[in-house]
Structure 1
């Protein structure tokens, strides 16, 4: 099984990302996704920085994919997205339909990100006809659902398709036009001064009984627990060829070996795998 490092979902300083992507370049990861996917205001790193990291990673033998925003909110962001997609040297991950439209117009192959609502093989076949060559399954779907979609897709479409599964990290559950981190500090979104950089692993939101229910990450709502399919590698490899690791700290790169057919990995206490087993995501299936 190949291992992908997903786009950094949290707001890290450029110096921290320099170190992180240096470590990624020296790791056994096969694929690396780069780019800001959460909030267009996050500009601690520029597109020039992402391109520099991409060159470093390509020289290290990695496949690099440039990820687009999950929520495109303005004509300015559409124009910036079009300029970004003019880059002919990289594969793109489309995280909303605007990016799908732009990339298909340019007749460019692309990856469908997990934020795009694809829940059956017919929708996936349509996206394949537009240029999709890889699909990252929405995080709330199960192993059985993926198997059914694959079967449905192969029955109606003969175009090649790779299947990738979010396998480790805080699950990106939803995005909103409102910024929950800014709201926590009682500041307006338009004048937030990037307060989310104070929480490089997100801001915990607990239930009244103290359960870690969600992780707030700017306009993004994430799971309160870390999702981890390391002990589901057998069923994962049956239906997918790529496992995605979404890092929230540099030490997360140690999980790369856990998804390279390592049958001896142990899921730490507090990590969950419910969605994969078609139960509540915050639960653990035995």
Structure 2
């Protein structure tokens, strides 16, 4: 069985300056859905640890379909109840591949249980949530590009929006400004602060597609040093994509950073897409991390 993990070093020891106790956390932290093919035991162990981490939101499910070995839907529902009891907001992430592993039946069950919000990553999930009157998070696979699209989804029940990790700051700013200019409220904005950049967003990529969707096999990018820009943009939630090793240290790094007056050092690659640049500029090789969404 293929495991979606490999050994990696935790974040570099040079941390952001100590947090000011008088500063309030202005952004929440969330754990994104798992990479594919984590075995059941590893999945349960990961969430047992995550229940005690300083994250407010935990996504359950996988970012892409695996090749078997993933926990069945009943496990996700049981985990949702356990994490909710620990005070976490639970989001059940629906795959962006409607043909994967009886996904339609799984999604029906997740919506029916109403153990938390649903993250919709395709229009079939949006339609089901709309029909059932269930509020949902618009996942990064929906690729919202205009305020008209965002408005339609808000009418359908969207309460939080997660742009793709490859979407840049200026397009997000323009979309937000268009929404506000139309006299509409912005939904909560959740940005992927730590996660893999899809190969489609990298120069010279020729990676294969799976049912029309490129697998996330790019470098891990880190928006920690861009926290002042994220605050200025009005970002509500910072998403951290799970990795098998060192995740507690990454969460601690961002928890300290969001409470600090100074931005933290970079712990992975620079997301040049965020800055509207072509290609990728990587951080020092010693600080590259090997696991992400």
Instruction: Name the TM-score class by shorter chain.
Output: 0.7 to 0.9
Q: For residue 51 of structure 1, report the CA deviation from its aligned partner.
A: 1.7
Deviations 1:44-94 (A, max 9, x none): 311121122212211221100000011112795334322332122321000
Identify unmatched segments of 5+ residues in structure 1: 175-206, 208-212
Match of 2:182 in 1: 156
Q: 1:224 aligns with which of 218, 221, 237?
A: 218
Asked whether the equivalents of residues 179 and 186 of structure 2 are also in contact (C-alpha less than 8 Å), the reply is no
Q: For residue 221 of structure 1, report the CA deviation from its aligned partner.
A: 2.1
Q: 1:278 aligns with which of 268, 276, 279?
A: 276
Q: 1:261 to 1:276 in 2, by over 3 A?
A: farther
CA RMSD in angstroms comes to: 2.7
Identify unmatched segments of 5+ residues in structure 2: 1-26, 284-293
Match of 1:14 in 2: 40
Match of 1:242 in 2: 237
Q: Which runs of 4+ in 1 moved over 3 A?
A: 40-43, 74-77, 213-220
The alignment covers a number of residue pairs equal to: 247
Q: For residue 223 of structure 1, report the CA deviation from its aligned partner.
A: 4.3
Deviations 1:128-167 (A, max 9, x none): 0110000001221111111111111122353451001111
Match of 2:133 in 1: 107
Match of 2:248 in 1: 253
The whole-number CA distance in structure 2 between the counterparts of 1:230 and 1:244 is: 11
Matches within 5 A, 1:1-286: 1-39=27-65, 42-73=68-99, 76-156=102-182, 158-159=184-185, 161-172=187-198, 220-239=214-233, 240-259=235-254, 260-262=258-260, 263-268=262-267, 271-280=269-278, 282-283=280-281
Q: 1:261 to 1:14 in 2, by over 3 A?
A: same
Q: 1:166 to 1:217 in 2, by over 3 A?
A: farther
The whole-number CA distance in structure 2 between the counterparts of 1:56 and 1:23 is: 12
Stretch deviating more after TM superposition (10-19 or 68-77): 68-77
The whole-number CA distance in structure 1 between the counterparts of 2:190 and 2:119 is: 12
The whole-number CA distance in structure 2 between the counterparts of 1:75 and 1:5 is: 23
The whole-number CA distance in structure 2 between the counterparts of 1:216 and 1:11 is: 19
Scaled by the length of structure 1, the TM-score of the pair is 0.78
Which structure has more relative contact order (CA 8 Å, sep 6+)? It is: 2
